[in-house]
A and B are shown apart, each in its own frame.
Chain A
Amino acid sequence: MIKRTHFKPSLLPYLLVAPQIIITVAFFIWPASQAVYQSMLLEDPFGLKSELIWFENYALLFSDEIYFSTFLRTVVFSSLVAFLSLSIALLLAATADHVVRGTRTYRTLLIWPYAVAPVVAGTIWMFIFDPTLGIVSYFLHGIGYEWNHRLNGNQAMALIVLAATWKQISYNFLFFLAGMQAIPKSLIEAAAIDGAGPARRFWTIIFPLISPTTFFLMVMNIVYAFFETFGIVHAVTKGGPAKATEILVYKVFNDGFIGLDLGGSAAQSVILMLIVITLTVIQFRYIERKVEY
């Protein structure tokens, strides 16, 4: 889209877009195309020689049981994080929207974990659940439950889900609350006059009306759980024990920088890019349709 009135063509617009285009090409388009190219190479770890093998890296990945289980694990992890943080945030937003006084105070007290870096969140939760020192593991021990996320894979998964969910609640809460406050009060009042109680009003009016927000948040939460949780995994479990918490983005990093399997890591990068592009397209198609509401 362009303005109806605009400036005559000159050299100026090229100069204006130049900084962004240069940075985008140098640090985005070029590296991304390198990733695609590298994903078709077989390289020795020292980078001395390489051989073009086309899609063999992908074929290897798709026939690799470890990759498949990592993929599955990532899906489980993302769904858990998205489901938990969305439902907790929805409950908090609905109650904050319902109370007569204090909505702003509650909002202030609930939104700030957004500002905490994932790795910082991970460090704190790791401390709270430290097998020997942690305050929660101490209480769990007291009631006869042994907590050791360094040995128990399921507990390690539970811990990173917890840390990732904790951090994401504030983001979801904010969007849900904004969505609910945009609903005209007359609708809610009309339903109240017809005798619908708070729970009924929520399920029959508020929840359907905020469904665009819910959908948007679902996509954003999956993207968050796929990529931004790297810091949490790296700080808390390093993918262990025995790869029980290795998610896709961590495996790209681990195979590329630690394992030096450049081709395999690049192929994984490309797959991740395709996943993000798909999610973006879904998001945009949906936003276009939303205009009809």
Chain B
Amino acid sequence: MIEQRPVAAWFSHTVLILGVVVVAFPIWITFVGASHDAIRMTQVPLPLLPGDQFFINLKAAFVDGVGNAKEQSVGIMMFNSLIMALMIAVGKIAISLLSAFAIVYFRFPFRMMFFWMIFITLMLPVEVRILPTFEVVANFGMLNNYWGLTVPLIASATATFMFRQVFLTVPDELLEAARIDGAGPMRFFKDILLPVSRTNIAALFVILFIYGWNQYLWPLLITTDKSMYTIVMGIKQMLEAAEEAPEWHLIMMTTLLAMIPPVLVVIGMQKLFIKGLTETEK
């Protein structure tokens, strides 16, 4: 502590508590909305305190389904989101580890060309090239399946860059020692490089999981089959289907379910999350 200044301390805590309240307010409203029945959700003013319908709505979302025809189970949408998030995270980490290993530890013709080819993908998000990418995916027959949902989003250099940075800090002595012991490149990769970069892998996994779970525009274009909807785009379909009289209690329940997994990941793995965020983006 530097000095005693009660006024400054009070001011700081007041600002922070206000900030926390403002940040949390929308989530509170979502939770309240998810815990009332359909009739209460059409009466003005809407409640500010939770009701007793939470588990009934939860059952409705999972068992009866949501949306116009009540045929979409939130469970299936969450499952699709989970598969998509996992495939993007695992896929991106796998291909990036391999290519970063090749670029850092091998000297071969066209090394720099490959490096620049990966580099240019660094910051261009999928949004700016949606139409032609959509055409490529359609030509490969990858619409309405998990490959089409994930593979195009794996093409990005951020992870390769991060692993390159990590590998460059690995002491040269490790490789020399491994060589003296007679280890080949893949043995060195598996037994030394992977173990020393495991916290970086975990941190990146957290970031990519959230990135994959929250994808919106891409699944919106790629999936027309309801069984392939992810939960984030499912919410939008629900809003659209019920333009006249939205079933806000079910929409809020779905919204709540859509944000619980990534929020739990951020809060539960806060250290890895912060490490991942500050290392991949800088």
Docked complex Cα distance between A64 and B155 (Å)? 34
| A252-B131 Cα distance, complex, nearest whole Å | 9
- Give the segment of B55-63, B71-79, B168-176, B194-202 that binds chain A: B168-176
- CB < 8 Å neighbour of B44 from A102, A118, A138, A169: A138
CB contacts (< 8 Å) of B210 on chain A: these are 114-115
Interface range, A side? 35 or more
Q: How far is the CA of A262 from the CA of B140 in the complex (A)?
A: 20
Cβ of A187 to closest chain B Cβ, rounded Å = 11
Determine the chain A residues whose CB is within 8 A of the CB of B8 once the complex forms: 98, 197-198
| In the bound complex, CA of A9 to CA of B42 (Å) | 70
Cβ-defined contact, B232 with A119, below 8 A: yes
The answer on a CB contact under 8 Å between B130 and A253 is yes
Do A118 and B214 have beta carbons less than 8 Å apart? yes
Q: Which of A119-153 contact B (CB under 8 A)?
A: 119-121, 123-125, 127-128, 132-135, 138
Q: Which residues from 106 to 132 on chain B have a C-beta closer than 8 Å to any C-beta of chain A? A: 106-109, 111, 114, 117-118, 120-125, 127-132
Complex contact B13–A99 (CB within 8 A) = yes
- Do B125 and A188 touch (CB < 8 A)? no
Beyond A34-B132, A269-B129, whether A166 also contacts B12 by CB under 8 A is: no
Most chain A CB atoms below 10 A, which of B48, B111, B132, B185: B132
* Contact of A81 with B by CB under 8 A: no
Complexed CA–CA distance, A234 and B172 (Å): 51
Q: Is B39 at the interface (CB under 8 A from chain A)?
A: no
CA separation between A220 and B281, bound complex, in Å?
9
A residues in contact with B282, CB < 8 Å: 216, 287
B41 proximity list for chain A (CB < 8 A): 133
> Is A7 interfacial (CB-CB < 8 Å)?
yes
Known: A106-B20, A115-B210, A118-B216. A6 touches B131 (CB 8 A): no
Given A3-B175, A128-B26, A272-B128, residue A21 in contact with residue B114 (CB < 8 A): yes
Chain B at the A interface: SS class: helix
Q: How far is the CB of B116 from chain A (nearest CB, A)?
A: 11
* Residues 163 to 186 of chain A near chain B (Cβ within 8 Å): 166, 169-171, 174-175, 178
Question: How far does the Cβ of A97 sit from chain B's closest Cβ, in whole Å?
Answer: 9
**Smallest CB gap from A236: residue in B:** B239
Number of residue pairs across A and B with beta carbons under 8 Å? 309
Decide yes or no: A123 and B251 within 8 Å by CB, A24-B121, A27-B136 being known contacts: yes
| A227 with B9: CB separation less than 8 A | no
Contact A23-B214, Cβ < 8 Å, known A223-B123, A256-B130: no
Option from A38, A117, A234, A280 in Cβ contact (under 8 Å) with B259: A117
**Does B90 sit at the interface, judged by CB under 8 A?**
no
Partner of B123, one of A19, A128, A280: A280
Q: Which residues of B have CB within 8 Å of A216? A: 282
Interface size class of B (residues with CB under 8 A): 35 or more
Whether a CB of chain A sits under 8 angstroms from the CB of B241 is no
Contact A95 B12 (CB under 8 A): yes
Alpha-carbon distance A31/B122, docked complex (angstroms): 15
Q: A133 with B132: in contact, given A19-B99, A138-B46 (CB under 8 Å)?
A: no
Binary flags per residue of B81-118, CB closer than 8 Å to A gives 1, else 0: 00000000000001110110111111111010010011
CA distance A10 to B185 in the complex (A): 11
Asked whether B263 is an interface residue with its Cβ less than 8 Å from the other chain, the reply is: yes
Provide 20 A-B residue pairs closer than 8 Å at the C-beta atoms, listed in order of the A residue: A6-B105, A6-B107, A9-B109, A12-B102, A19-B94, A19-B98, A29-B117, A31-B133, A95-B16, A102-B13, A112-B267, A114-B277, A127-B251, A128-B29, A133-B46, A169-B19, A227-B127, A230-B217, A257-B130, A269-B130
The 5 A-B pairs of least Cβ separation, nearest first, read: A117-B214, A31-B132, A16-B102, A115-B262, A13-B106
A residues contacting B by CB (< 8 A) are 1-7, 9-10, 12-14, 16-17, 19-21, 23-32, 34-35, 38, 88, 91-92, 95-96, 98-100, 102, 106-121, 123-125, 127-128, 132-135, 138, 166, 169-171, 174-175, 178, 188-189, 192, 197-198, 216, 220, 223, 227-228, 230-231, 234-235, 249, 252-253, 256-257, 262, 265-266, 269, 272-273, 276-277, 279-280, 287
